[in-house]
């Protein structure tokens, strides 16, 4: 198998770039910088990065119609109008947990925006357990809580037949599979798909490719791993030039490239010298596999 080519395409030191989504209509990569409280979008044609700043940490972004995005920031879900740079919040969750914030999210095959929460670390690397939940914002504006008692709700995606939901709880180092009901948005029957060994880092963002396999970013593991969706077996490892690998999505022409985000926050000055590309966004090409177009929230 030919080794893939890894190229830093957005050479900016993002604090915590996350949640990449390929916007096919415009040929742009949309993502967030959680700690910089920004939604970003990058055009490979112009090389330009545009940003919109929000008041709170922004955990994730999903596509609506062009120029409008569904976002989760702080403990709120809402919509961002890129033209006016205004956010309109429609729901506030976890109101009983003042230290929580939204983390990763994605639009499901039926157009719900599914996003999870996590507590902020009380000290570096220390989180209170069981504080996170997973919510879905339905196209009619209502919100349902789907999972609770999570550690750090993180990467998520659906199987090719939409009947299985994959979800990462980073604090448990695990990727779980659940039954998914696309008609109701209901999630049930959890089973452990894979628990990462400590040396592999923490599982973070993930995506499913066009053959159904999972690609999981391993933060502090410096890699993206490809897992078998049935057995959780490690199929491939893509070693990245940075340790804090946060998330990935397929994009570009035919969704043939894997875009990988990373973080600089959490690294000390010495480590930053050793990892000059920390926080950059990378393109991995030549993997020999394609992804699927992301779903859109109908708004
Ligand atoms: Zn994440």
Per annotation, catalytic residue among 94, 104, 204, 209: 204
Q: Cβ distance 103 to 61 under 8 Å?
A: no
The rounded distance, in Å, linking the Cα atoms of 281 and 66 is 22
The rounded distance, in Å, linking the Cα atoms of 137 and 291 is 24
Kindly report which listed range (64-68, 94-98, 224-228) carries the lowest average pLDDT score.
64-68
| Residue ranges of domains in the chain, CATH in brackets | 5-285 (2.120.10.30)
Task: Compute the distance from residue 270 Cα to the ligand 1 centre, in Å.
Answer: 24
Average pLDDT score over the chain: 96
pLDDT, position 214: 98
Quote the strand ranges of 140-270, DSSP E: 143-150, 153-158, 164-169, 174-180, 187-195, 202-208, 214-219, 223-227, 234-239, 245-251, 257-262
pLDDT, position 1: 60
Average of pLDDT values for 219-233? 97
Q: How confident is the model at residue 94 (pLDDT cuts 50, 70, 90)?
A: very high
CA dihedral 176, 180, 185, 189 (to 10 degrees): -60
pLDDT, position 142: 97
Q: How confident is the model at residue 3 (pLDDT cuts 50, 70, 90)?
A: confident
pLDDT in tens, 99-132: 999 999 999 999 999 999 999 988 888 889 999 9
Half-sphere exposure of 92 (CA within 13 A, CB side): 7
Task: Compute the distance from residue 157 Cα to the ligand 1 centre, in Å.
Answer: 13
pLDDT, position 65: 87
Nearest to 108 by CA among 148, 60, 75: 60
pLDDT in tens, 18-58: 999 999 999 999 999 999 999 999 999 999 999 999 999 99
pLDDT, position 50: 97
pLDDT in tens, 186-204: 999 999 999 998 788 999 9
- Residue 299 pLDDT > 90: no
Nearest to 181 by CA among 156, 152, 159: 159
Q: Cβ distance 184 to 244 under 8 Å?
A: no
pLDDT, position 198: 75
Task: Compute the distance from residue 66 Cα to the ligand 1 centre, in Å.
Answer: 24
Nearest to 218 by CA among 233, 235, 232, 238: 238
Task: Compute the distance from residue 234 Cα to the ligand 1 centre, in Å.
Answer: 20
pLDDT, position 2: 66
Burial of 160 (0-12, 13-18, 19+ CB in 10 A): middle
pLDDT, position 124: 81
Q: Name the 3-class secondary structure at 284.
A: strand
The structure's pTM equals 0.97
The structure tokens 């916007």 sit at 23
Task: Compute the distance from residue 18 Cα to the ligand 1 centre, in Å.
Answer: 6
Instruction: Give yes or no: 204 in active site.
Output: yes
What protein residues have CB closer than 5 angstroms to ion ligand 1? 104, 154, 204-205
The CA distances from residue 39 to 149, 199, 264, in Å, are 28, 31, 17
pLDDT, position 21: 98
pLDDT in tens, 249-263: 999 999 999 999 999
């Amino acid at each position: 198998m030919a080794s893939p080519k890894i190229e830093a395409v957005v050479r900016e030191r993002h604090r915590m770039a996350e949640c990449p989504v390929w916007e096919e209509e415009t040929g742009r990569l949309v993502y967030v910088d959680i700690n910089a409280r920004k939604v970003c979008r990058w055009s490979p044609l112009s090389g330009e990065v545009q940003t919109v700043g929000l008041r709170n940490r922004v955990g994730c972004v999903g596509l609506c119609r062009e120029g409008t995005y569904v976002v989760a920031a702080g403990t709120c879900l809402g919509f961002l109008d890129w033209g006016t740079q205004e956010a309109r919040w429609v729901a506030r969750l976890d109101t009983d947990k003042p230290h929580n914030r939204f983390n990763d999210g994605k639009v499901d095959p039926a157009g719900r925006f599914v996003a999870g929460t996590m507590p902020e670390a009380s000290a570096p690397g220390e989180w209170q357990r069981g504080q996170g939940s997973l919510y879905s914002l339905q196209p009619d504006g209502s919100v349902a809580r789907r999972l609770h008692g999570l550690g750090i709700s993180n990467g998520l995606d659906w199987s090719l037949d939409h009947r299985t939901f994959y979800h990462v709880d980073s604090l448990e180092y695990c990727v779980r599979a659940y039954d998914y009901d696309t008609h109701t948005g209901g999630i049930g029957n959890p089973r452990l798909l894979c628990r990462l060994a400590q040396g592999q880092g923490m599982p973070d963002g993930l995506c499913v490719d066009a053959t159904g396999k999972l690609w999981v970013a391993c933060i502090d593991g410096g890699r993206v791993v490809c897992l078998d969706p049935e057995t959780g077996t490690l199929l491939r490892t893509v070693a990245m030039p940075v340790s804090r690998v946060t998330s990935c999505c397929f994009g570009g022409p035919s969704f043939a490239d894997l875009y990988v985000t990373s973080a600089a926050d959490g690294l000390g000055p010495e480590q930053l010298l050793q990892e000059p590309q920390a926080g950059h966004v990378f393109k991995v090409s030549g993997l020999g596999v394609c992804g699927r177009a992301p779903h859109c929230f109908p708004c």
